[in-house]
């Protein structure tokens, strides 16, 4: 498994699961490496893992084995696809974590909406094949020059099959068991300008587990990590720091 790594290994570790397409969606969170050891795995089908097609079950297995190999509990942060994968990973392997921050997970789904989102994301993938546009999008997301170059190159190799599987991934509140029994602190976030099903997903998470709290950031859309970085970073420092202090 390919991954990005920031900070020093002896520091407390945060594993960050990125959104579809954007390995560096947490670029504005990398400054947290002054306090924490950050690991950003490349999810299947994206980044330097484009020789694979995204598969939720296989991805969970790979991540669980990788995190277990670290030999210590970690904090988990996920956004969008990464939050959905994180939800399933946390529910099935809670022993690996001491807390989790999950941002904009889509966990309440119906067939009609899934088909619409798959179609929209397939169109988006076609636009990413235009290197100049891909580079512009990377710049707007605050990527460094090196990150922009790798992003453009990596997106040329992402397949329609991965795009479809990443959306229609089978991860929902109904299909994933065990979340209600997770006994570590969980913070679920969504933007007030996101779709109803996104906001309802995090609200339902809080209803399912007394250790989970949720917040709706009224001014945010599906963009909390890059566009609300200052507030988000402060939230991570406070929430994750408190969890690590408790051990």
Complete domains list, the chain, with CATH: 3-108+170-246 (3.40.50.1820)
Mean pLDDT along residues 142-160:
93
CA distances (Å), origin 153, targets 20, 132, 214: 15, 11, 36
Residue-level pLDDT at 136? 93
DSSP β-bridge partners for residue 101: 77, 187
Output DSSP code: residue 93: -
Mean pLDDT along residues 193-203:
97
- The share of the chain scoring above pLDDT 90, in percent, equals 96
Mean pLDDT along residues 71-75:
97
Residue-level pLDDT at 246? 84
Residue 22 CA to residue 14 CA, distance in Å, equals 18
Residue 140 CA to residue 142 CA, distance in Å, equals 5
DSSP β-bridge partners for residue 16: 77
Residue-level pLDDT at 141? 81
Residue-level pLDDT at 236? 97
Average pLDDT, the chain: 96
Residue-level pLDDT at 188? 99
At residue 17 the predicted structure's pLDDT band, cuts being 50, 70 and 90, is very high
pTM over 0.75: yes
140 pLDDT more than 90:
no
* Residue, of 137 and 217, whose pLDDT is higher: 217
Residue-level pLDDT at 81? 98
Mean pLDDT along residues 157-177:
96
H-only helix segments in the chain: 56-69, 81-92, 111-128, 131-140, 145-155, 160-167, 196-208, 224-227, 229-246
Residue 103 CA to residue 190 CA, distance in Å, equals 6
247 pLDDT more than 80:
no
Which pLDDT tens digit goes with each residue over 96-111? Answer: 999 999 999 999 999 9
């Amino acid at each position: 498994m390919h991954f990005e790594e920031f900070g020093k290994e002896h520091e407390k570790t945060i594993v960050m699961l990125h959104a579809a397409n954007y390995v560096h969606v947490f670029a504005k969170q990398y400054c947290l490496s002054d306090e924490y050891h950050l690991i950003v795995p490349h999810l299947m089908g994206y980044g330097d893992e484009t020789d694979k097609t995204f598969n939720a079950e296989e991805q969970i297995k790979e991540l669980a084995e990788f995190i277990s190999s670290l030999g210590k509990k970690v904090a988990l942060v996920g956004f969008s696809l990464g939050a959905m994968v994180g939800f399933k990973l946390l529910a099935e392997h809670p022993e690996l974590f001491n807390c989790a921050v999950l941002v904009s997970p889509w966990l309440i789904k119906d067939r009609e909406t899934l088909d619409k989102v798959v179609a929209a994301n397939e169109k988006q993938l076609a636009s990413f094949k235009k290197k100049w546009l891909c580079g512009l999008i990377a710049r707007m997301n605050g990527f460094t020059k090196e990150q922009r170059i790798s992003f453009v190159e990596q997106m040329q190799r992402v397949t329609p099959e991965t795009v479809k599987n990443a959306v229609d991934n089978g991860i929902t509140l109904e299909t994933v068991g065990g979340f209600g029994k997770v006994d570590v602190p969980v913070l679920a976030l969504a933007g007030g300008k996101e779709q109803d099903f996104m906001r309802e997903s995090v609200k339902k998470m809080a209803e399912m587990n007394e250790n989970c709290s949720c917040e709706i950031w009224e001014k945010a859309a599906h963009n909390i990590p890059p566009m609300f970085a200052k507030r988000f970073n402060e939230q991570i420092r406070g929430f994750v720091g408190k969890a690590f202090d408790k051990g």
